[in-house]
Structure 1
């Protein structure tokens, strides 16, 4: 699962704060209407000055918040603090108008629900504890209301205790289920975002595959021509008489052979028939072949234990070759391929003492063209390796080593390569 980007998180926090501001405007309007109706309509005397002062404070807070939203991002602590201010204002209003016997005490549940939706889990539970404590405190300490004879009544302590217990139970259940539902929704959204990203990458892979397949077809003819010409050169008397020229021709023939193998691998990976059947080999021989055919010097640390028969996967071989090439391009003087089997998994680790991965590459590992190299087409090695591993049911990880250099680790199930031994 991918975490949300900082820009998206800031935008979401700002939208949430705007919703709180809107809710506060509604609360101010509702409380003002209730004060007017109760004080002037029902004849129940309320302390107007302090209660209206609380509403004025909420209006001032809203104005300051709106001015600040246009300049600075909103943090989680500010959202939590904003809800605490609303709880405090409601507590003061309830204290001035009868305490826990005031039916508007249930408005605490609105703050609890808002906290469960907008805040982190710990802050949501903190809000439950705070509102439960203030409810209990209002049952003990409050300013009594002098009710007219027609409205006068008294609530028993048992009723108040039952109301408090019902409030706590409702608040706990609300937070419990709302936070779980919110977590499920976030997980679903993250999964959908990951699927959309993979679909876009796979579409890009298809386009790259078509281009690579066409290029491989076009390269086949000139490579064959060069191979024939080099074979003719090698038979020339002048070249056979010069050891240096003969060695250079041998080297060019080896490089042409490697290029033809790469072209064949591209066609094979594209699903086209190349006239070669999938090779049956063993895991140790497959990895040793990659190390031996790579043009540079690679140390092979074999921790495979019991050798296993496999079907050689050319795409995996190309991915390993690309990682070795990356290590060489990172100015590494020592490169090692470490092969380990762990239960049902094969772990291949390419380690080097080069300059390591830049931070931006590690943050977006496996994305196409994610590279610090200026040349055109750079950044495809890790992208292709990641998708090869994904096809095989594996994964790719990379990190910089504490002593310098980098490690790229490929983990894949042995079953994706395994060949059942003949009975």
Structure 2
């Protein structure tokens, strides 16, 4: 809705609305002259025609000026609206004054002035319009020397109808456009507020995660040293200590992965992989995390390429973890191309399904859940949206289907 702002960009965009107003007024003036000439052949006004010509030239010049070199200040726009009033008022003065059915056209510059210029300028325009109408009453030029012509009442009624219709059309165009842009702006503001709230929650979670990760480093190193000492003192516990060491290394690996993901987010690093290579990497991670779980990887994979990072890997693995929690006996993961520029990663399970509030657009906010579909789902959704994707879900009698929509490589629209 920039055309309502008092700036060069706003005035440039407003030029087409001003052009519409002026062209409509000139058209109404010419139609009125033509109809009057047809109804009253003795009527002819060279001055009125010249004023229409001047108004047309003025309209063209102002439109070109505002499009190429828009004014910096509202005073210039106000001056052009004042000139509109002068031209309209002078034309009315030469064509019957206040008896001319196009007198309401004087209100159009006021309407645009209220939208485009400061209040004090609008007050000046209103005062000038009232003065112009008073002049129409005091010094009007009659259409005909003898206004008892029987055709004049019909002409006046016809002119009033035409003026009303065109004025209503102009107002509908301007006010309708204004209302539509206001609704769009309100929707954008609502989305911005929701996005900001989500970002604040993510920042809070990120700070907490960073703090926990930093604090976990010391105890993990301590436990690793203790394992080495226990292996030397109790050789009979070798197998158990080896398993414990593997788990400690796994924890350390996750912390390093967290640090790597944070670095990639800061530097906005993305890597382009084929869907097959990316899912192979996810499969390897899933096998390490859940070696005993039954996860089906549906093949063949599409040949499309996607731009991914470590945070997206973690987002998908979070969804897989949720699916395994809900359905330990069966989870299926597949991929398919959607349209010329989209890829879908589909995660299915045989669980009881999501709550009604989470179906459709899951992860829009943090929810409390015993199944682990709260913070993890929220962060996964935020990560997918950051990379220009979307997360959808639906539940049937057979279970839940999570759909991750991603753009193909080269078409990534990073979230704000």
Give the TM-score, by structure 1 length: 0.51
Tell me which residue corresponds to 2:377.
Answer: 382
CA RMSD of aligned residues (A): 3.9
**1:319 partnered with 2:315:** yes
1:167-178 alignment, distance < 5 Å? 167-178=164-175
Between the aligned partners of 1:313 and 1:412, the Cα distance in structure 2 is 13
Shift in CA distance, 365/307, structure 1 to aligned 2, threshold 3 Å: closer
Compute the displacement of 1:323 (Å): 0.7
1: CA distance between counterparts of 2:190 and 2:270? 36
Match of 1:409 in 2: 403
| Distance in 1 of aligned mates of 2:252 and 2:171 | 66
Give secondary structure in 1 for the equivalent of 2:404: strand
Matched with 1:120 is none
Residues 286 and 359 (structure 1), Cα distance of their counterparts in 2 relative to 1, 3 Å cut: same
* SS at 1:156 equivalent: helix
The answer to whether the 8 Å contact 1:290/1:317 transfers is no
* 1:287 equivalent in structure 2: 282
Does the alignment pair 1:201 with 2:223? no
Question: 1:260 aligns to what?
Answer: 252
Does the CA-based 8 Å contact 1:303-1:341 persist in structure 2? no
In structure 1, how many angstroms separate the alpha carbons of the residues matched to 2:307 and 2:397?
Answer: 37
Quickly say closer, same or farther: Cα 1:298–1:171, change in 2 above 3 A. same
Alpha-carbon spacing, 1:284–1:358, altered in 2? closer, same or farther (3 Å): closer
Long gaps (5+) in structure 2 = 1-100, 105-110, 112-149
Alignment of 1:163-312 (within 5 A): 163-230=160-227, 236-239=234-237, 246=239, 252-271=244-263, 282-295=277-290, 296-306=293-303
2-structure distance, mates of 1:272, 1:298 = 28
In 1, are the aligned partners of 2:345 and 2:405 still within 8 Å (CA)?
A: yes
1:414 Cα deviation after fit: 3.6
How far did residue 315 of structure 1 move?
0.8
SS in 2 for 1:318: helix
- Report the counterpart of residue 394 of structure 2 in structure 1: 400
Work out whether residues 283 and 307 of structure 1, in 8 Å CA contact, stay in contact via their aligned partners in 2.
no
Aligned-partner SS, 2:382: helix
Post-superposition offset of 1:207: 2.7
1-structure distance, mates of 2:183, 2:411:
36
Q: Which residue of 2 aligns with 1:365?
A: 362
Quick check: 1:391 aligned with 2:386? yes
Partner Cα distance (1:287, 1:188) in 2? 40
* TM-score normalised by structure 2 residue count: 0.52
